């Protein structure tokens, strides 16, 4: 029998309440191994398809992986400022999981997606069997007023403008340890022609609302509920030299005690799904097979 090298992949729309989610799915229609995995992406030029390289490895091992475009990213329309409040967005994500028939799930998230995953797991620990954070949800961010966050978001948006997708690739390629066709597809989904230029689909107003919400709901508030629920947590981190928050993160998450596992990815940057997607997918499958224990 020839080994399968490319798992089933589909994308579809799922409407839950007022939100029509664009959803990427890898692997069997129902998980053959463990609970389904819900992956949440980061801010900026990011979409659910950024999970592809790690999702493929998990799907080949029998896992079902689902990664939505979060509201205001890719093909999922954004809402008003209140939609990005942490309690509201995690409630919306739980409603999405309900609509998919998930009784329990593994939550995984990169960057801002890790922050959301931690809050969702802490609010509903009975629904979460494990938590995987890819350089995200690590430390608290300081509070900020919306107006200040919006000013910064506009400046960032104006600095990330291109004539063509090839110009974007040339600009960003040096920031990654590895480049793939999946990464190019994710870029294409995260950008849009706006006023004759190629810009992020994420609007500055949405970015400011997200940043404001993160300052209002510190991730450190999730540590005790996660520890009490004994949810196993895997931190996937770049080499310490690549991030000045890593030492702070490790100290903050030690409250989880033996339920905490830490993986290091040398030579990688903050962009772990892109830099080390296949390795992380294999490692997560091994870790989950042991029940999230070392």
**Domains in the chain and their CATH numbers?**
9-142+210-289 (3.40.50.1820)
pLDDT classification of 170: cutoffs 50, 70, 90: very high
Q: Is the pLDDT confidence value at 247 over 90?
A: no
Tell me what pLDDT residue 239 has: 78
Exposed, middle or buried: residue 269 (CB in 10 Å: 0-12, 13-18, 19+)?
middle
State how far the Cα of 14 lies from the Cα of 66, in Å rounded to an integer: 12
Whether residue 120 is predicted with pLDDT greater than 80 in this model: the reply is: yes
Question: In the prediction, which pLDDT does 244 show?
Answer: 64
Pairing outcome for strands 197-200 and 260-265: unpaired
Inter-CA distances, 36 with 84, 101, 137, 244, 251, Å: 24, 10, 21, 33, 30
pTM check: above 0.75: yes
Q: What is the pLDDT of residue 81?
A: 87
With bands split at pLDDT 50, 70 and 90, how would you rate the model's confidence at 291?
A: confident
What number of H helices and E strands is found in the chain? 10, 10
Q: Give the list of residues 6+ apart from residue 127 with CB closer than 8 angstroms, or none.
A: 94, 97, 102, 103, 104, 105
Q: What is the pLDDT of residue 294?
A: 61
Identify the band that residue 4 occupies on the pLDDT scale cut at 50, 70 and 90: low
Distance (Å, rounded) from C-alpha 71 to C-alpha 89? 9
- The per-residue pLDDT for 1 is 35
SS3 70: coil
Q: Are strands 9-16 and 19-26 parallel, antiparallel or unpaired?
A: antiparallel
Q: Which two tokens stand for residue 240?
A: 């310490």
Q: Are 126 and 112 in contact (CB under 8 A)?
A: no
Mean pLDDT for the stretch of residues 203-223: 96
Residues 155, 35: contact at Cβ < 8 Å? no
For residue 172, what is the enclosing H or E element? helix 165-172
Split at pLDDT 50, 70, 90, the class of 80 is confident
How would DSSP label each residue in 173-203?
A: GGG-S---HHHHHHHHHHEEEETTEEEESS-
């Amino acid at each position: 029998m020839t080994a399968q090298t490319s798992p089933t992949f589909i994308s579809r729309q799922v409407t839950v309440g007022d939100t029509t989610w664009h959803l990427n799915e890898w692997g069997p229609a129902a998980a053959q191994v463990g609970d389904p995995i819900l992956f949440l992406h980061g801010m900026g030029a990011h979409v659910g398809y950024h999970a592809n390289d790690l999702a493929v490895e998990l799907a080949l091992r029998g896992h079902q992986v689902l990664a939505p475009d979060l509201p205001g990213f890719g093909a999922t329309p954004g809402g008003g400022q209140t939609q990005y409040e942490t309690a509201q967005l995690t409630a919306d994500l739980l409603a999405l999981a309900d609509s998919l028939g998930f009784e329990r799930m593994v939550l995984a998230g990169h960057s801002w997606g890790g922050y959301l995953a931690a809050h969702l797991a802490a609010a509903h620990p009975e629904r979460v069997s494990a938590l995987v954070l890819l350089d995200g949800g690590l430390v608290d961010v300081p509070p900020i007023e919306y107006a200040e966050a919006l000013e910064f978001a506009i400046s960032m948006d104006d600095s990330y403008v291109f004539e063509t997708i090839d110009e974007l690739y040339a600009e960003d390629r040096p920031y990654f340890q590895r480049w793939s066709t999946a990464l190019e597809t994710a870029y294409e989904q995260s950008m849009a022609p706006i006023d004759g230029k190629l810009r992020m689909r994420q609007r500055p107003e949405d970015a400011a609302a997200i940043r404001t919400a993160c300052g209002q709901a510190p991730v450190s508030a999730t540590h005790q509920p996660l520890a009490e629920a004994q949810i196993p947590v895997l931190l996937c981190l770049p080499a310490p030299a690549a991030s000045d928050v890593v030492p702070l993160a490790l100290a903050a998450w030690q409250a989880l005690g033996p339920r905490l596992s830490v993986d290091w990815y040398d030579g990688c940057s903050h962009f772990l799904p892109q830099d080390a997607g296949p390795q992380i997918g294999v490692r997560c499958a091994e870790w989950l097979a042991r029940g999230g224990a070392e």
